[in-house]
Amino acid sequence: MAMTPFALSAALSTWGGRLYPASLVDTGAALVALARVEGRKILVQASVQAAGLPPGFDGEIRPATGTAIRLCPLTHENAVALRRLLPWAAPVSLRNRRTTIGCGDRLGRATPGHVRAVRQFAASPVLAQQSMRELTLTRRTYENVVDDVTFLVLQEGYRAGYGADGDHLKTLRDIGVAVDAGMAMITLDLTEKMNAAAENWTPAAVEAAFAELPEAVRRRVIDTYADRAFDVDGGVVTIDGLEARRCAVMYLAAMDFAGEAYALLQQRRGDAFDLEISIDETKAPTLPAHHLFIIRELLQRDIVISSLAPRFIGEFQKAIDYIGDLAEFERQFRLHCAIAKAYGGYKISIHSGSDKFAVYPIIGRTTQHRVHVKTAGTSWLEAVRAIAVADPGLYRRLHARAFEVLPEALKLYHITPDLTTIPALATLKDSELPALMELDAARQLLHVTYGGLLGDPAIGPAFLAALDAGEEVYYRGVERHFVRHLRALGLEAAG
């Protein structure tokens, strides 16, 4: 028999601890909850006798009057046991959910804010989402990413199901690592497997490379695509002979690789996964004809995808709004959506979706909310904003250090901020610091330098400690910011 929440709460308070009220779960035999005890977040379990405590957890049993209370540290082993005890705490495939929102969280601390925002709308969150680049820069692992979210969905009592995205993976080995950690979504980045340079090759060079392909492949490509027009809802996509050959040279090897990744996912997870194909990290925008070629070649290999991320016209720079021609974006975006609708109804995925408020209304109405929108750094920037509020001195050190580590970050991120627009810190009062997060150049500076900042021993640990001490401030900031995103997409309120 479980003890009462009141008795558990009273026992914790004698140790100076407190419960996160939304986290309380009664399993029948025991109470399970998240608590903060002696300054640390911890998993607590309580039963009238030790035999009633759930199996598989590792922790310290503390005697309390008439009960057994176990305090379990937030380790990987305890996360695994928690996911077994409460299956809703584990990531799931969201392939049947209409609207999905990628909530990348580099610090493993933003989930309560994400959950509180997403709950207000008809949308499902991908709460665990990280690229290999972000893992390296934050010194985290896929196990850390999934485990942090496991404990935080318990903290919020969020049982509606969440996704976990191994983002921008390029090798079968990395996919294996992400799947081992429980990631249910894989974003397969094909930029290294495709021949992007062939986009600009001369007809003669394309012809020469095409001639190297096996004869049966060449015949199939010509028969299927050359000089043909494909009707898609509200539009026509045409491919001439040269473009058909060019697509074959650019993409066929990458399509075969996608087949290997798909087989691996099927073998490991049956149908319980989401595969996203990403071709967004290329220099040139993805032409609708290329998108159509890619999806037809995927279907030809019996690969079922949940989403596809084209590279769109214009610039989707980190941390700031869309740069480009909105009318042309809308025209091309419509065609991408029409192709997705005609070939199985997968979602178009918007990468670097953070803060793209100008294109959100177009995205919302064109997709009718059948879409995946990915954000990542914007939740980190909310953490920086929370620090600017809570600890201006620490913010000043962090801001100065960001300029020093920027050259290193620019090797990994393409941004073009005008740093001269950032006022000198000495001219700003403490109360003016949070407003720097409204300034494009400052947002971009701080967005890309997280690796160097978190890795600085004088800044990283102090940053996380200050964030944890004011966690509610951070959650409220993330919630407010995400509500703004979800409203701009025109999403309906949750029913």
**Residue nearer to Zn ion on the CB measure, 69 or 277:** 277
Show contacts with Zn ion in window 303-362 (CB under 5 A): 351
What minimum distance in Å lies between the beta carbon of 373 and Zn ion?
12
Cα gap 351→374, rounded to integer Å? 5
Choice between 170 and 399, CB closer to Zn ion: 170
Q: By C-beta, is 95 or 351 nearer to Zn ion?
A: 351
- 387: tokens are 């620090």
Rounded to an integer, what distance in angstroms lies between the CA atom of residue 447 and that of residue 162? 25
User: Does 280 participate in binding Zn ion (rule CB under 5 A)?
Assistant: yes
Q: Tokens representing 173?
A: 């080995």
- State the minimum distance, in angstroms, from the CB of residue 14 to Zn ion: 50
**How far is the CA of 258 from the CAs of 188, 312, 385, 469, 482, in angstroms?**
8, 21, 40, 44, 32
Please state the closest distance from residue 374 (CB atom) to Zn ion, in A.
7
Give the C-alpha distances (Å, rounded to integers) separating 105 from 140, 262, 274, 376, 484.
Answer: 11, 26, 19, 6, 17
Q: Which residues pair with 169 in a beta bridge?
A: 188
Q: How many CB atoms lie under 10 A from the CB of residue 193?
A: 19
Least distance CB 5 / Zn ion (angstroms): 43
Is 276 among the residues known to form the active site?
Answer: yes
* Gyration radius of the chain over CA positions: 25
Examine residue 165 and tell whether it contacts Zn ion (CB under 5 A).
Answer: no
- For Zn ion, the closer of residues 99 and 352 by Cβ is 352
Nearest distance from C-beta of residue 392 to Zn ion, angstroms:
34
Of the ranges 103-111, 145-153, 234-242, 277-285, which one interacts with Zn ion (CB under 5 A)? 277-285
Q: Which two tokens stand for residue 242?
A: 């040269």
State which residue, 190 or 339, has the beta carbon closest to Zn ion: 190
Exactly one of 147, 148, 167, 199 is catalytic; name it.
Answer: 167
- Residue closest to Zn ion when measured from CB atoms: 351
- Give the integer Cα–Cα distance in Å for 475 and 107: 13
Retrieve residue 350's tokens. Answer: 């918007």
> In angstroms, how far is CA 487 from the centroid of its own chain?
19
CB of 169 to Zn ion, least distance (A): 11
> Please, what is the minimum distance in Å from the beta carbon of residue 280 to Zn ion?
4
Catalytic one of 276, 280, 297, 382: 276
For Zn ion, which is the closer residue by CB, 154 or 294? 294
Q: Which is nearer to Zn ion, 102 or 477 (CB)?
A: 102
Give the nearer residue to Zn ion in terms of CB position, either 324 or 392.
324
- Applying CB under 5 A, does 276 fall inside the site for Zn ion? no
- Nearer of residues 117 and 376 to Zn ion, judged by Cβ: 376
CB-CB neighbours of 204 under 10 Å: 8
CA distance 198 to 191: 13
- Closest distance to Zn ion from the beta carbon of 308 (Å): 12
Q: Report the relative pairing of strands 40-47 and 25-26 from DSSP bridges.
A: unpaired
**What is the closest distance, in whole angstroms, from the C-beta atom of residue 412 to Zn ion in the complex?**
13
Find the part of the chain contacting Zn ion (CB under 5 A) among 8-16, 172-180, 278-286, 341-349: 278-286
The region of 253-261, 274-282, 326-334, 438-446 touching Zn ion under the rule CB under 5 A is 274-282
**Catalytic residue set:** 167, 276
| Residue ranges in contact with Zn ion by CB under 5 A | 280, 351
